[in-house]
């Protein structure tokens, strides 16, 4: 099974900050990686797929990069609506989520 | 507008059974692969099961194989999850999710399953 590890688990940031979340796979997954945003009490929302392709309607301040085993999600300028938990997901072999990264207000 | 609406959750005793449903609308259900994903209280997301558009291909997470059964009725635009031999660690919000290019582009609001005596 492919394991996904995100870091950090929690980060505190301010509006306007540049934020980067890392996701590592236990084996190569090529570019078969997605990122989701989840707010409390709500279903997850797809942000990015194939490591770097922005889902329709997602603001351009979100970007993804990486391939193989190391990936990053970057929010270029954090907005109030972005405080949430973010999950990476591999879909190279079935599906596995990372444990999540909570982005909190500093 | 794409909509996925789960139902069937509730309180069940350990060892009991429950059947979840997911009603789909706003898209051609029969052409999409579907999944169930769960989230234990205060925890992260866990993929549970996948079914192909025709129902001919099915996958399960190791944690549920042999106890949970996914199915679909394309004539009724519905996805199901039959849950048997339930355990306390099956307690979670269960989401149905549409698959597009292997990622999950639409999710329902979730239904809570609580396994407790």
pLDDT in tens, A18-73: 999 999 999 999 999 999 999 999 999 999 999 999 999 999 999 999 999 999 99
Average pLDDT, chain B: 98
pLDDT given for residue A94 in this prediction: 97
Per-residue model confidence as pLDDT tens digits over A78-103 = 999 999 999 999 999 999 999 999 99
| A-chain residues near B59 (CB < 8 A) | 94
Chain A residues in contact with B45 (beta carbon < 8 A): 36, 38, 44, 87, 89, 97, 100
CB B72 within 8 A of CB B55: yes
- pLDDT per residue as tens digits for the range B84-97: 999 999 999 999 99
> Closest approach of chain B CAs to the CA of A54, in angstroms?
12
Q: Beta-strand (E) ranges in chain A?
A: 4-7, 10-13, 19-25, 33-38, 45-49, 53-54, 62-67, 70-75, 85-90, 96-97, 101-105
pLDDT of A3: 98
A95 → closest Cβ in B47, B105, B108: B47
The answer to whether B45 contacts A34, with C-beta atoms less than 8 Å apart, is no
3-state secondary structure A34-56: EEEEECCCCCCEEEEECCCEECC
Nearest CA in chain B to A100: B44
- What is the chain B residue with the closest CA to A6? B44
Which token pair is A13? 């940031």
Place of tokens 């794409």: B2
Tell me the shortest Cα–Cα distance from B24 to chain A, in angstroms.
16
């Amino acid at each position: 099974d492919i394991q996904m590890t995100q870091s950090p688990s929690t980060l505190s940031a301010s509006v306007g900050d540049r934020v980067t979340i890392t996701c590592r796979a236990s084996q190569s997954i090529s570019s078969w990686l997605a990122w989701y945003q989840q707010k409390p009490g709500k279903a997850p929302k797809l942000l990015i797929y194939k490591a770097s392709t922005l889902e329709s309607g997602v603001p351009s301040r979100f970007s993804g990069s990486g391939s193989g085993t190391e990936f990053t999600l970057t929010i270029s300028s954090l907005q109030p609506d972005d405080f949430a938990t973010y999950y990476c997901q591999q879909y190279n072999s079935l599906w596995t989520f990372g444990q999540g990264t909570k982005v909190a207000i500093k | 507008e794409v909509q996925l609406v789960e139902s069937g959750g509730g309180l069940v005793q350990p060892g009991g059974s429950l059947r979840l449903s997911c009603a789909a609308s706003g898209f051609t259900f029969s052409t999409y692969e579907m999944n169930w994903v769960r989230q234990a209280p205060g925890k992260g997301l866990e993929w549970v099961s996948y079914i192909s558009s025709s129902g001919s291909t099915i996958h399960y997470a190791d944690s549920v194989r042999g106890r949970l059964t996914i199915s679909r009725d394309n004539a009724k635009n519905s996805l199901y999850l039959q849950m048997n031999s339930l355990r306390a660690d099956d307690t979670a919000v269960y989401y149905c999710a549409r698959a597009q290019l292997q990622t999950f582009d639409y999710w329902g609001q979730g239904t809570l399953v609580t396994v407790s005596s």
